[in-house]
């Protein structure tokens, strides 16, 4: 899985994911801060990245509109802010939730991450 973290996520999360065996980068690390959500999605599609975001409203709509044209996208992972903290203390749970889907087929899917049990 190649994972593109939306702008709300710090590079430290991408580094934790990389250490856990997931190829991850952020919009910030790519020098693309401030681009619109449709631009984030288009970049992810062009470069074959699954998007990680907590922005449900925009990315679900963008992905649905993209799919209605018959086109596919690499996938979208939604980490709701009421389930996952972006702070350092919440990083391990988010990494674990993403790892749970790292070998799944995500093409054109939207997955709402759940907090890991245990």
**What values do phi and psi take at 115, rounded to 5?**
-70, 135
- pLDDT tens across 87-103, in order? 898 899 999 999 999 99
- pLDDT tens across 54-93, in order? 999 999 999 999 999 999 999 999 999 999 988 898 899 9
pTM above 0.85, yes or no: yes
| Residue ranges making up the domain that contains 78 | 2-112
Q: Is 58 within a domain? A: yes
Q: Is 98 within a domain? A: yes
Spatial distance between the Cα atoms of 8 and 55, rounded to a whole number of angstroms: 9
Spatial distance between the Cα atoms of 26 and 7, rounded to a whole number of angstroms: 7
The domain that contains 22 carries what CATH number?
Answer: 3.40.50
In total, how many domains does the chain have? 1
Q: Is 118 within a domain? A: no
């Amino acid at each position: 899985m190649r994972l593109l973290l939306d702008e709300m996520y710090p590079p430290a999360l991408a580094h934790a994911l990389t250490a856990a065996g997931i190829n991850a980068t952020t919009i910030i690390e790519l020098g693309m801060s401030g681009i619109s959500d449709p631009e984030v999605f288009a970049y992810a599609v062009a470069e074959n990245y699954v998007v990680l975001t907590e922005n449900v409203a925009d990315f679900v709509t963008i992905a649905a509109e993209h799919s209605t044209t018959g086109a596919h996208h690499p996938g979208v992972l939604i980490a709701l802010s009421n389930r996952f903290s972006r702070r350092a203390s919440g990083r391990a749970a988010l990494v674990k939730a993403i790892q749970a889907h790292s070998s799944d087929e995500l093409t054109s899917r939207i997955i709402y991450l759940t907090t890991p049990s245990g």
